[in-house]
Amino acid sequence: MMNERFRKLGFSPADILLPKDADMTKWAVVACDQFTSEPEYWEGVERTVGDAPSTLRLILPEAELKAPDVERRIADINATMDDYLRRDLFRTLRDALVYVERTQSDGLVRHGLIGMADLDAYDFTPGSGALIRATEGTVLERIPPRAKVRRNAPIELPHVMLLIDDPDKTVIEPLTAATSEMEPLYDFDLMAGGGHLRGWRLSDAQVSAVADALAGLATDEAMQRKYGVSGVAPLLFAVGDGNHSLATAKACRAEQGDANPLARFALVEVVNNHDDALRFEPIHRVLFGVDAKELHAAFRRFYPNAYEGRGEGHVIEVACEGYNGFVTVPDPKVQLAVGTLQAFIDEYLKTHDGEVDYIHGDEVTRQLGRKPGNVGLLLPAMGKDQLFKTVMADGVLPRKTFSMGHAQDKRYYVEARRIR
């Protein structure tokens, strides 16, 4: 049941399962949607885990979603979940919130809060007025294969990260100096270069303070102060990672309805958008098999007021054979430069040959762009203050807008929760 103080917040304490007596380094593995093109990573995890109890046995790496024996793999996962429950491998933290500190590969520490999201307060439809909204477009075809994994599972493990827009650092940051008032839960190194993880259970007083602080972020006054709007449905949580996992949980909730009240919720980690360790890195575009001059002319037709050089508006860097410069689109119609650029690329590729790829890193984009037949288009980093404003104004971000950290810095599975 949901804690009453949290009822209107879309997030609340949960009955959280933790292993009673496990080698935590072997127990915790990285989010299933990482290293999908690197089977050697998952082979290394297999060797590390061996026969030890591990979340590796409770998840399906997405690299294997299309494997010929996937149905058997899913059945084995569900059977292992039942086995772990039957062998009493877990202890239950009743009605708990867990504060976590994750040391990333860059040495910075990311702070989070684990509880459960109310799926009835989440909507991935662009333009939704839900408390919890997607930040990127949801590809509906990606949900059914993931639903196969969740549908008959007795427990869930989260890699969903919800972001809050808390520039004054009122919700999570006060906990950092107050861990002495909490129950320590774990403190261990993560495998395969994942850094370090520590976790504590909040006291009752701290849980109440979190509820009050979250409620403060959802007031009309907060919406006016941060976004300059009033009388609109508040946006409290934006999905930063794991949107398709949350969408899958939502689909299973719709299937099972009120017959399974546990399916109404999903375990998540909440992180402040303004956490110093959270880095938004732009994802650039490289067009292959195009004529740079023709592309430039088409861009000027699409945006007749665009001009070369840097100015007021959306500025995009262009790198192609024999040229490196900037183009500015003044008076843009959308919030982000990536939206301005993506609208053009989508329209251009409908009538011209060529392909687009999405590239991390400035210099690698420039190097690819300078090769004959290519054009590299570099985007500015999105400011943290733009994320929630864009979701409120434009519905969702353009696809491939930004990346949050490296693969090894994604969530590792540790906590679990019963969903049956």
State residue 78 phi and psi, 5-degree precision. -65, -40
The DSSP bridge partners found for residue 163 are 238, 271
What pLDDT does residue 199 have?
Answer: 98
Phi-psi region of 394 (alpha: psi -120 to 50; beta: other; left: phi over 0): alpha
Element (H, E) at 46: helix 39-49
In this structure, the answer to whether residues 252 and 320 fall within a common structural domain is: no
In this structure, the answer to whether residues 197 and 257 fall within a common structural domain is: yes
Residue pair 370/207 in contact by the 8 Å Cβ criterion: no
In this structure, the answer to whether residues 242 and 324 fall within a common structural domain is: no
Residue at 393 is within a domain: no
pLDDT digits 0-9 by tens, 329-344: 999 999 899 999 999 9
In this structure, the answer to whether residues 81 and 176 fall within a common structural domain is: yes
Element (H, E) at 110: strand 109-118
- Pairwise CA distance, residues 337 & 349, whole Å: 19
What pLDDT does residue 2 have?
Answer: 54
- Pairwise CA distance, residues 112 & 77, whole Å: 27
**Which parts of the chain have pLDDT scores under 50?**
none
At position 57, the amino acid (one-letter code) is R
In this structure, the chain runs to a length of 420
In this structure, the answer to whether residues 107 and 16 fall within a common structural domain is: yes
In this structure, the answer to whether residues 89 and 207 fall within a common structural domain is: yes
Residue at 206 is within a domain: yes
Q: Tell me how crowded residue 384 is: count the other CB atoms within 10 A of its CB.
A: 17
Residue at 153 is within a domain: yes
- Pairwise CA distance, residues 312 & 331, whole Å: 8
pTM over 0.85: yes
CA angle 205, 208, 210 (to 5 degrees): 110
Residue at 88 is within a domain: yes
What pLDDT does residue 347 have?
Answer: 96
Q: Provide the CA 133 distance to its chain's centre, in angstroms.
A: 12
Residue at 187 is within a domain: yes
DSSP 390: H
> For residue 354, what are the domain limits?
282-383
- Pairwise CA distance, residues 56 & 77, whole Å: 9
- Pairwise CA distance, residues 270 & 164, whole Å: 7
In this structure, the answer to whether residues 297 and 324 fall within a common structural domain is: yes
In this structure, the answer to whether residues 81 and 215 fall within a common structural domain is: yes
In this structure, the answer to whether residues 169 and 134 fall within a common structural domain is: yes
At position 225, the amino acid (one-letter code) is R
DSSP 192: T
Per DSSP, the three-state class of 155 is strand
In this structure, the answer to whether residues 147 and 75 fall within a common structural domain is: yes
In this structure, the answer to whether residues 270 and 288 fall within a common structural domain is: no
Beta 122-123 vs 132-134: how paired, if at all?
Answer: parallel
pLDDT digits 0-9 by tens, 164-199: 999 999 999 999 999 999 999 999 999 999 999 999
Number of structural domains in the chain: 2
What pLDDT does residue 63 have?
Answer: 82
- Pairwise CA distance, residues 154 & 364, whole Å: 44
In this structure, the answer to whether residues 267 and 328 fall within a common structural domain is: no
Residue at 231 is within a domain: yes
